[in-house]
Structure 1
Amino acid sequence: MVILAAFALWPLFVLVQMSLSEVGPAEIVGNWSFVGLRNFVDVLGDFETWKAILRTIGLCAILVISNLVLGFIAATVLSTTGRTASAVLGILVFVWALPPLVSGSVWRFLLDDTGTLNAILGLLGISPVNWLSDPALALWSVSAVVAWASLPFSILIMRGGLLAVNPELIEAAAIDGAGFWTTRWRIILPLMRPTLWILAVITVLYAFRSFDFFYVMTQGGPGTSTNTLPVLSYYTAFTNFDMSTGATIAVVSMVVVLAFAVPYVRTIKNEETS
């Protein structure tokens, strides 16, 4: 509890205090002037904040859909034992364990205007694509990389859930004539609903803290086209040196996450009491 208070609760308290105060380079050390909700009014009245919220929600949608759908399909395929499945699982663990700084730098090289992917497209007679320098594509390109980096975790979690299902249920479904994917869709998937709920919430939390890839690959650009809430908060606080506004954006991000997490907690409590 002491460690939790020191490394989580106290910084959170300071963050909220900063969002309710006027804090700049001159005031960072010393007493902070209390301004109430003025920072929140300014932040929520700024169109850039709402665009950052929409970008972050779009990133959440991409991650949730890709992680749950592709993750379930891949976990189903890898739920069998064998050398091939073990080798693929080892690769997945390696991909998941890669630091975002490393994998983001590699993907930035691959997706550069003169990078490897465009070189391959050139060999096929296809014009190069501005994956990271086109404002219309940059957000989707980085979001795809974030989804790629988070997918192994989803596969491993859902594979564990699949292996925990009673084999007798699968055998009974097979005797009744249910096919492979019918069994997964009609029997196994409903049994994994709590796991999918937890995974969905974790994925949303991951999306709202995905700063590394955006910073390494685009630094919020071109322009502000890839400014999600974490990126906007960082540049506001440490580039524009407006610490109070940056803290306010971080608090807004936290409130949006709570809006997603509270329904999940209520659902779990209802299932436990029913």
Structure 2
Amino acid sequence: MSVLERERATEGRRASTGRRPSARRSFFKNPIFFLLPAVLVLLAFAAYPLLVLLRMSVSDVGPSNIVGVWHFVGLDNFVAVLGTSEIWASTLRTIVVSVVLLASNLILGFLAASILSTRGRVTNIVLGIMVFVWALPPIVSGSVWKFLLDDSGALNGILGFLGLPHVNWLSNPSLAIWTVAGVVAWSSLPFSALILRGGLLAISQDIIEAAAIDGAGYWRTRMQIVLPLLRPTMWILGILTVLYAFKSFDFFYVLTQGGPGTATNTLPVQSYYTAFSNFDMSTGATIAVISMLIVAIFAVPYVRSIRKENIE
């Protein structure tokens, strides 16, 4: 009896006895089974802390009952937080950081990507340096910038050597937020340049050559032809930039720790110091939830854009 005849005989016996492959065996053959470890890790390290944060934001939590019973207070924490001027000032500072990052990532990122879109040894060296800068931990690069921008730091030393007055980059309340925002923009610029460079390289060269034949110059081609084609990529990059601005904490903590005073208190910084310096855990959690809701508003267009691209 051939192998094919044996399989047919086996299927015939199963059909006659009504036996089917067990549900357990079918489950283990399902590709969804292989996603279970990732789903369990996500639930343990993302979903559960998020639920605890939400519960803390609607409870009265302090040092005395952090490991005890949390009394439910409803939306009282949100009413109290939104009724203070500091939350709105922190939101405004976060928006300032977002604007600086948007201008840097979209404008300077596009210019850098345009320059680096040509292939060559110099381009590869510059790209390697940019990847190195982007991969540096914020604690490390922030410490370097703090050394450079300190009142007695290297940058003011250079200004003094040139006969120029010193600048209080980090100790001037009106200048500190812009200084830290500039450092954050510097750290995120390589990422945006690499993303936009990838979008530029994906554009068909036939379009560029046709524009050159018609007499369009380099930058005219970039502004009137390439830039419209990059609009979906820049849209997604802009949303990611805003999300990054609303979760930036490392550079603010290393450079100014929210100071001088509260001049660089953005939403993440205010949430951290409210919870772990003032030991008002419920208010800190409430600020974090408010920041998360703002991020979620910007995340919705990002998800829709990704889904639209997948459909197309």
* Residue from 214, 232, 255 that aligns with 1:176: 214
Please name the residue that 2:108 is paired with: 70
- Alpha-carbon distance, 1:259 to partner: 2.5
Please name the residue that 2:288 is paired with: 250
* Residue from 95, 119, 131 that aligns with 1:93: 131
Query: 1:44 & 1:182 partners in 2: Cα distance?
Result: 48
Q: Are 1:33 and 2:96 matched, yes or no?
A: no
* Residue from 116, 121, 124 that aligns with 1:83: 121
Offset from partner CA, 1:135-169 (integer Å, 9 cap, x none) = 01111011100000000000111111110111111
Q: Are 1:106 and 2:129 matched, yes or no?
A: no
Contact 2:256-2:264 within 8 A present in 1 as well: yes
Change (3 A) 1:94 1:245: same
- Alpha-carbon distance, 1:79 to partner: 0.5
Give aligned-pair identity as a percent.
68
Please name the residue that 2:276 is paired with: 238
Alignment of 1:1-274 (within 5 A): 1-266=39-304
Query: 2:306 & 2:231 partners in 1: Cα distance?
Result: 10
Q: Which AA in structure 1 matches 2:289? A: V
Query: 1:196 & 1:145 partners in 2: Cα distance?
Result: 21
SS of residue matched to 1:87: helix
Cα RMSD between the aligned structures? Answer: 1.5
Change (3 A) 1:97 1:272: closer
Query: 2:141 & 2:309 partners in 1: Cα distance?
Result: 39
Query: 1:150 & 1:231 partners in 2: Cα distance?
Result: 19
Out of 92-101 and 183-192, give the one that drifted further: 183-192
Instruction: Tell me the matched-pair count.
Output: 274
Query: 1:153 & 1:273 partners in 2: Cα distance?
Result: 26
Q: Which AA in structure 1 matches 2:235? A: W
SS of residue matched to 2:189: helix
- Alpha-carbon distance, 1:197 to partner: 1.4
Out of 58-67 and 260-269, give the one that drifted further: 260-269
Query: 2:115 & 2:304 partners in 1: Cα distance?
Result: 33
Offset from partner CA, 1:151-203 (integer Å, 9 cap, x none) = 00001111111101111111111111111111111111111122111111111
- Alpha-carbon distance, 1:264 to partner: 4.3
> Any unmatched runs of 5+ in structure 2?
1-38
Query: 1:191 & 1:13 partners in 2: Cα distance?
Result: 41
TM-score, structure 1 length as denominator? Answer: 0.96
Q: Which AA in structure 1 matches 2:81? A: V
TM-score, structure 2 length as denominator? Answer: 0.85
Work out which structure has the larger RCO, using CA pairs closer than 8 Å and 6 or more positions apart in sequence: 1
- Alpha-carbon distance, 1:28 to partner: 1.1
Q: Which has the larger radius of gyration?
A: 2
SS of residue matched to 1:250: helix
- Alpha-carbon distance, 1:207 to partner: 0.7
Query: 1:114 & 1:187 partners in 2: Cα distance?
Result: 48
Q: Which AA in structure 2 matches 1:26? A: S
Contact 2:271-2:287 within 8 A present in 1 as well: yes
- Alpha-carbon distance, 1:258 to partner: 2.1
